[in-house]
A and B are shown apart, each in its own frame.
Chain A
Amino acid sequence: DPKIIQKPKYLVAVTGSEKILICEQYLGHNAMYWYRQSAKKPLEFMFSYSYQKLMDNQTASSRFQPQSSKKNHLDLQITALKPDDSATYFCASSQWGLSQDTQYFGPGTRLLVL
């Protein structure tokens, strides 16, 4: 059974629209993260949450907003989508959110903005 679920697997959106990427983890972890992977930046850290609180935000744009309704959920809302937002978005989790922790990645959501 998959331990980190990301939905949807593929997503096509039009420029200017809004989408929500879903992430749920069943590892019992307390920290969750979002990463972005594209041809321009192979693996880029976006956000980290620990116990549902924002710990680190390396995303310059406020169009990207994480949402945590439960400890094992960390969704990513993206507004006013642009073609440059096209990428694969990975959710990850770790036990405590410490740098020594091992992070486990989900399978990703591939977003294409037309």
Chain B
Amino acid sequence: GDSVTQKQGQVTLSEDDFLFINCTYSTTTYPTLLWYVQYPGQGPQLLLKVTTANNKGISRGFEATYDKGTTSFHLQKASVQESDSAVYFCALVYNNNAPRFGAGTKLTVKP
């Protein structure tokens, strides 16, 4: 079945470090891929989404490329800030089916 894998449970960085959060997916379809961010005490909110393979999504300095060849949708940011500390979820949706979420990656950015 369809699934999303995030192997990094936690990432700890210092301000201005480069961020890379790994996400791979498995599906037999052509899904929409998404990244959600969840700040403490809040619900998840959409960070970016990409509907077409080989396209890149960009939002608030974050970017992710829908790579159909490697079935990956890694999240990157050139320079993180303390305010980026949150949990990041990779997800896929297709054909109005229920979305599939990864396990989440908790990012901690130290000042």
Is B45 interfacial (CB-CB < 8 Å)? yes
On whether the beta carbons of B45 and A105 are closer than 8 Å, the reply is yes
- Total count of chain B residues near the partner, CB < 8 A: 24
Question: A-facing mask of B82-103, CB < 8 A → 1, else 0?
Answer: 0000010101011111110111
Q: Name 18 interchain pairs, CB-CB below 8 A, sorted by A.
A: A42-B87, A42-B103, A43-B36, A43-B44, A43-B91, A45-B101, A90-B43, A90-B44, A97-B96, A98-B96, A99-B93, A99-B95, A99-B97, A105-B44, A105-B45, A106-B43, A107-B41, A108-B43
**Chain A interfacial positions (CB closer than 8 Å to B):** 4, 42-45, 48, 55-56, 58, 90, 92, 97-100, 102-108
Which label, helix, strand, loop or mixed, suits the secondary structure of the A interface?
loop
By beta carbon, the residue of chain A nearest B93 is A99
Closest Cβ–Cβ distance, residue B52 to chain A (whole Å): 11
Is B72 interfacial (CB-CB < 8 Å)? no
On whether the beta carbons of B98 and A103 are closer than 8 Å, the reply is no
CB contact between A48 and one of B32, B42, B98 (< 8 Å): that residue: B98
